[in-house]
């Protein structure tokens, strides 16, 4: 796996920035980790890849924001299963204001919901764009720099995970389960507070 990832990055080095930009529009975390490893290996420029990845994250959230702004009825109809998350997102925005825009990238399950739910409100598009841009660059910088700094350790973990995939699977599943459980508890607590008011 290590060899495959390195070969992939090396072969498409000339397209690395474009790939990372597009990948960060769609999702991001894995792209940022790979970007940090690429920079560690010297295949891409560290500063440039942070800039490009941040722009990709910014564009992705702007798309979701404007989907919310101009497709309110469609969202309410098509995303009924996400109503609970939209309610939580609105409450978080009301309670914490702009900082929720800044930290939503780190909130599992809310990456697309929060920008759309803010778009539905009368929140200033310019203000959202400014906070979103700064947030995206900070998000990209933190993740890429960590991957860049711990590049060798990440490759060692990949090698270990290949040999001991069952342990790696348990660790990853446990970590994701804890994250999901934590955010579910947060959702319930926020909705309970709302129902009491």
pLDDT (tens digit, 9 = 90+) per residue, 55-101?
999 999 999 899 888 887 777 665 666 677 777 777 777 777 778 88
* pLDDT of the residue at 2: 45
Q: What is the pLDDT of residues 119-165, one digit of tens each?
A: 888 889 999 999 999 999 999 999 999 988 886 776 666 666 666 65
* pLDDT of the residue at 53: 94
* pLDDT of the residue at 92: 76
Q: 121 to each of 67, 70, 95, how far by Cα in Å?
A: 12, 11, 14
* pLDDT of the residue at 78: 59
- Tell me if 173 is assigned to some domain: no
Residue 7's domain comprises 2-164
* pLDDT of the residue at 135: 92
The 3-state DSSP class for residue 44 equals coil
- Tell me if 116 is assigned to some domain: yes
* pLDDT of the residue at 189: 62
Find tokens 């955010």 and name the residue: 183
Look at 41 and 185; give whichever has higher pLDDT.
41
- Tell me if 158 is assigned to some domain: yes
- At 6, the pLDDT band (50, 70, 90 cuts) reads low
- At 54, the pLDDT band (50, 70, 90 cuts) reads very high
* pLDDT of the residue at 48: 94
* pLDDT of the residue at 39: 87
Q: What percent of the chain has pLDDT above 70?
A: 65
* pLDDT of the residue at 18: 86
pLDDT at 16 over 90: no
- Tell me if 103 is assigned to some domain: yes
- Tell me if 125 is assigned to some domain: yes
pLDDT average, residue stretch 108-117: 77
- Tell me if 105 is assigned to some domain: yes
- Tell me if 193 is assigned to some domain: no
Q: CA angle 21-26-27, nearest 5°?
A: 95
Neighbours of 191 (CB within 10 A): 14
How does the average pLDDT of the chain come out, rounded? 77
- Is 0.85 surpassed by the pTM of this model? no
In degrees and rounded to multiples of 5, residue 191 shows phi and psi of -70, -35
Find tokens 């350790």 and name the residue: 153
* pLDDT of the residue at 188: 64
- Tell me if 42 is assigned to some domain: yes
Look at 1 and 189; give whichever has higher pLDDT.
189
> Which residues, other chains included, contact 107 with Cβ-Cβ below 8 Å and sequence gap of 6+?
114, 183
Residues in the chain: 197
Total number of domains constituting the chain = 1
């Amino acid at each position: 796996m290590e060899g495959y990832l390195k070969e992939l990055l090396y072969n498409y080095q000339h397209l690395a920035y474009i790939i990372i930009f597009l990948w960060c529009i769609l999702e991001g975390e894995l792209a940022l980790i790979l970007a940090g490893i690429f920079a560690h290996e010297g295949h891409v420029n560290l500063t440039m890849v942070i800039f490009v990845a941040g722009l990709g994250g910014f564009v992705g959230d702007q798309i979701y924001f404007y989907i919310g702004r101009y497709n309110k009825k469609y969202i309410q109809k098509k995303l009924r299963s996400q109503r609970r998350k939209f309610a939580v997102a609105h409450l978080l925005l009301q309670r914490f204001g702009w900082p929720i825009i800044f930290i939503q990238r780190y909130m599992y399950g809310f990456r697309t919901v929060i920008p759309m739910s803010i778009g539905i409100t009368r929140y200033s598009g310019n203000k959202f764009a400014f906070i979103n841009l700064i947030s995206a660059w900070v998000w990209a910088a933190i993740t890429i720099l960590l991957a860049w700094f711990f590049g060798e350790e990440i490759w060692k973990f990949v090698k270990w995970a290949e040999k001991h995939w069952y342990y790696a699977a348990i660790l990853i599943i446990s970590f994701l389960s804890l994250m999901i459980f934590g955010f579910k508890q947060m959702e319930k607590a926020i909705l309970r507070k709302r129902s009491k008011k």
